[in-house]
Amino acid sequence: MPSKEPLNIREERFIYAAKCIKETIIRNRDVSEDDLACPILVEGINDVKSLREIGFIGKIETINRGWDRSRMIAYLYEKYGSELSIDGYPKIILLMDWDRTGDRLQKSFKALLESMDVKVDERLRLVLSKQLKSECRTVESIGSYSEKFKQIISEL
């Protein structure tokens, strides 16, 4: 009989991921609500849908708009600038998938943005990629755990 990972370790990983998701939801909220209004940059529309299912309500930008990378970087620079958010962390939250293509995109966009003195926040991606690597490898696929995350977040 194949051995399964003990439930408590899996639950601990989900709780840790949910804490990071909750922090990022707060950072992503609209400035008019006296929050931080940090945009999240993802690959495509399905990633946006997945994040909305979990509870993100702020600005989410996609890189798949038909624009080349230099135009996208210029747009992000013009719209969000190089300033840090009011909490002292980078303003743009970079969240590409944690598969091979996502790794390449993450590194590329980070390097291009940082070459224009725009710092990026990669904490959410780092936590999700470590805590959920056995469950999923894409932002889109975390939507299937939205109810679980919403329940854990409501209890935090």
Is residue 86 over pLDDT 80?
A: no
Average pLDDT value over all residues in the chain: 89
- What lies within 8 Å, CB to CB, of 73 at 6+ separation is 109, 112, 113, 116
Is residue 139 over pLDDT 60?
A: yes
Q: In angstroms, rounded to a whole number, what is the distance separating the alpha carbons of residues 139 and 6?
A: 25
- What lies within 8 Å, CB to CB, of 17 at 6+ separation is 127, 128, 131, 132, 149
Fold (CATH) for 7-150: Dna Topoisomerase Vi A Subunit; Chain: A, domain 2 (3.40.1360)
